[in-house]
Amino acid sequence: MSGLGGLNKSPNGVVIGMVQLQLPVVVTPADLAAQTDRIVEMVGKARRNMATMDLVVFPEYALHGLSMDINPEIMCSLDGPEVAAFKAACAEHRIWGCFSIMEKNPGGMPWNSGLIIDDTGELKLYYRKMHPWVPVEPWEPGDMGIPVIDGPKGCKLALIICHDGMFPEMARECAYKGAEIMLRTAGYTAPIRDSWRFTNQSNAFCNLMVTANVCMCGSDGTFDSMGEGMIVNFDGQVLSHGTSGRADEIVTAEVRPDLVREARRHWGVENNIYQFGHRGYVAVKGGAQDCPYTYMTDLAAGRYRLPWEDEVEVTDGTSCGFPAPVRVYGEKAAEAAE
């Protein structure tokens, strides 16, 4: 149960609000400043909306919109005015917040970054999207792994972004590092609705982990984002779901990290996150703890290759108007130009 969306908060509960933010159009620095103010206003709305709320979550692209514009004038930095405004809003309203920025990268294309700020205004989590939505997105692939932090009420909290959630390995990594709640922020549009729903549920159940997920909402005159705020319990049950498509609605639920911990310790059947590394422990003591998965060993060895690799037709962003890259991963733009 969700405690009536968090209205009836239990001593061990964490109340999360997922903001189905109206999709903006951001072209100029003035647009960026105005959208920053809009997000700050919504932090205040979240606190007024529900005094019990611990964490308010904004979607990917909340600040920049879906244009994929890499204009340096509207890219952000951790020490810039946009992040400073988010920190001040969290401190003023005494609430944790999750935010999205497109971050300047002197060595290449911008990063698509997510931030979690605590209720005193301190940056607690900083994550760069590992799997940009190719071939549509131009962002640099993340290079910092997936951090897991102590969040509100001491919960273990992780953040992934949009397309990241289509890779089960991403949710598994969050859980393996201890996450009890995984946030997934997105800008997805309506064609992804079904995939969004079942991956949010499978990411939860396969890892005995709460997932809290939200997209941008409404139209910017070109794109139509779907909202779909969705909070899923560790057993895969949907606790709260914003199906109306109403922009600026805040979808809320209370979640119970203590029950996540209880399930991970006491479940026998379907304790998947444990059983994955202890195959067949009924037959052999401790279970098999090898790595029988070819794709894992090949990826770790730098030789990941599909049987149909040579037949894949879309391998860069030229179909979406981006030039084919010449720089290899890990190489700086200046080095590639030499």
In this structure, what token pair is assigned to residue 259?
């029950």
CA distances from 24 to 61, 266, 311 (A): 9, 46, 38
Distances (CA, A) of 3 to 52, 127, 237: 11, 30, 14
Determine the length of the chain.
Answer: 338
Q: How far apart are CA 103 and CA 128, in angstroms?
A: 9
Distance separating alpha carbons of residues 8 and 25, to the nearest angstrom: 37
Single-letter amino acid code for the residue at 147: P
Which residues are catalytic, by number?
A: 60, 129, 162
